[in-house]
Amino acid sequence: MEQPGGALVASERYGSAESWKYWAKDGAMERRRDGEQRQSAGSSVLRVFRTVFLPQGYPDSVSEDYLQYQFWDTVQAFCSSLSGTLATQASLRGVGVGNQEATVAAATLTWLLRDGTGMLGRIVFAWRKGRKLDSEAKKWRLFADGLNDVAMLMEIVAPHFPAFFTLILCSAGVFKSVVGVAGGATRAALTVHQARRDNMADVSAKDGSQETLVNLAGLLLSLLLVPLVTDDPPLTLGLFFLFTLLHLFANYKAVRSVVMETFNEARLSIVLQRYLRDGRVPGPAEANGREPLLPDFRTPVPIRLGVKLQDVVHRYPDQLDLALKGNNKPFLVGIRNGCVSVCLGPEASVGDEIRAACQALWLGGRLEAPTSRHENQNGHWETVHQSHQLMDDVFTGFLKDAEAAGWDVKRTLLDWDEWRVEWKTKSS
């Protein structure tokens, strides 16, 4: 291939960011950028910025929702940095900074009590809610940032209640410790989602660089802000509420922009209901857009996955035979004490887990109907048998359509507990 500049020898590209060609002429080889021959100063700066603050191979190495999420996450981090400055100033004033009557020992004791209660809160929260942070990462991410704003508000108002200052500060410390666990864990879960080339460490490191840059910008603005709000509580509260509103809005936009392709209970319920209603499987973008992120004050039927056998059946052999009737799958589904429970066999596949969860969700919807609330246990078993028949008819098509719609059916974020049961029928 001959060109005025010589013969094309080779071409290369760096991801989707840039491409180059090698031209040979008179025994020499020249490397030229594909397209524009010269690179402007502005594009050079942008290239350096991308190299420093974005994962290698961006945008091909991350999920499609990466840029939108990072934009709103940057906005919320900036607002949180400014709010944190106001809260820290109030806390320092409350422990006696600037007060000649305050003692170092009293201030130190208050600070140690705050840190100590925070450590205990961190352990208890991780124990009670740790496994929920994977399956409901977006909801807990939003919860963590909202709780962080509550903790900072408590720190700001604490100096105005001297008699309860230590109690308020310790409570805020507990809240912030919960924020640390929930925020850090959900950030890791979102990083796993965003990393598409086994580059979780790179994505996490660049996210840290972005956050450091934002905190630096917040620090510089705080240097101008602190002298203005010192000894002016109304202005402090006013600015805090302004930053908090923007912080919560940016957080909501950030988690709403995340499009996860794996099923958790909420997304599976949305997709299953639509499929049973009109035979169509919504794609990940549509289902994520409808996924609830705020607290739901309704009382839905509890669904427990991966439970002990006694949570499904408690009499042998009649109830175990009822649980196995019409069911040749490696799981048992039952209804007990108003709760839908699923026992999982050790040989169950991911497809079996999805099918069992679909049955449990369908049963939960049936139990919410007023006509089903007063059924006896035998009536519930008839409903369970209907769920087996329904899944026999529709599940294969549902799973195939879900995969075609873009869902990852090779893994899930369903909240399975660790119990695995091997059961025997009366005949065996």
Shared-domain flag, residues 27 and 164: no
What is the arithmetic mean of pLDDT over 113-118? 86
- Residue 279: strand, helix, or coil: coil
CB 21, CB 32: distance < 8 Å: yes
The answer to whether residue 98 is domain-embedded is yes
Phi-psi sector, 15: left (phi>0), alpha (psi -120 to 50), beta: left
Quick one: 380 exposed, middle or buried, by C-beta within 10 A (0-12, 13-18, 19+)?
buried
Q: Which of 207, 222, 256 is the last residue of a domain?
A: 256
Is the domain of 21 the same as that of 79? Answer: no
- CA nearest neighbour of 79 among 244, 237, 254, 225: 244
**pLDDT 10s digits, 231-285:** 788 888 899 999 999 999 999 999 999 999 999 999 999 999 999 999 999 999 9
Range with the poorest average pLDDT among 29-33, 137-141, 217-221, 342-346: 29-33
Pair of tokens at residue 279? 């035979």
Mean pLDDT of the chain: 87
- From 256, 282, 317, the end of a domain falls on 256
* Residue 144 placed within a domain: yes
Q: Is residue 426 a part of any domain in this protein?
A: no
pLDDT over 70, % of the chain: 89
Task: Give the pLDDT of residue 158.
Answer: 87
Cα–chain center distance at 176: 18
Q: Is residue 101 part of a domain?
A: yes
Residues 246 and 270 in one domain: no
On whether both 110 and 205 belong to a single domain, the answer is yes
> DSSP character for 307?
-
DSSP assignment of 40-67: -HHHHHHHHHHHHHS-TTTTTTB-TTHH
* Spacing of C-alpha 276 from chain mean position: 27
For residue 86, being part of any structural domain is answered with yes
Q: Specify the CATH number for the domain of residue 113.
A: 1.20.1250.20
Specify if 414 maps to a domain: no
Domain count of the chain? 3
Please say which residue of 256, 284, 300 terminates a domain.
Answer: 256
Residue 413 lies in a domain: no
Cβ atoms of 83 and 244 closer than 8 Å: yes
Give the pLDDT score at 312. Answer: 92
Distances (CA, A) of 202 to 14, 196, 199, 205: 17, 11, 5, 5
Q: What is the mean pLDDT of residues 159-168?
A: 87
If asked whether residues 110 and 198 sit together in one domain, one would say yes
Instruction: Note whether 168 and 161 are within 8 A (CB).
Output: yes
Give yes or no: residues 202 and 127 share one domain. yes
Element (H, E) at 71: helix 66-94
Q: Which residue has the higher pLDDT, 181 or 48?
A: 181
Domain match, 164 and 313 both: no
Regarding whether 128 and 101 lie in a shared domain, the answer is: yes
Q: Are residues 10 and 75 in the same domain?
A: no
Lowest model confidence (mean pLDDT) among 61-65, 109-113, 303-307? 109-113
- Tell me: do 220 and 99 sit in the same domain: yes
Whether residue 94 sits in one domain with residue 23: no
Span 275-291, pLDDT tens digits: 999 999 999 999 999 99
Q: Which domain holds residue 128?
A: 66-256
| SS3 at position 230 | coil
Task: Looking at the structure, tell me whether residues 270 and 391 fall in a common domain.
Answer: yes
Q: In this structure, is residue 118 part of a structural domain?
A: yes
Closest by Cα among 284, 256, 283 to 69: 256
pLDDT at residue 28, rounded to an integer: 85
Could you tell me the end-to-end alpha-carbon distance of the chain, in angstroms, rounded to an integer? 76
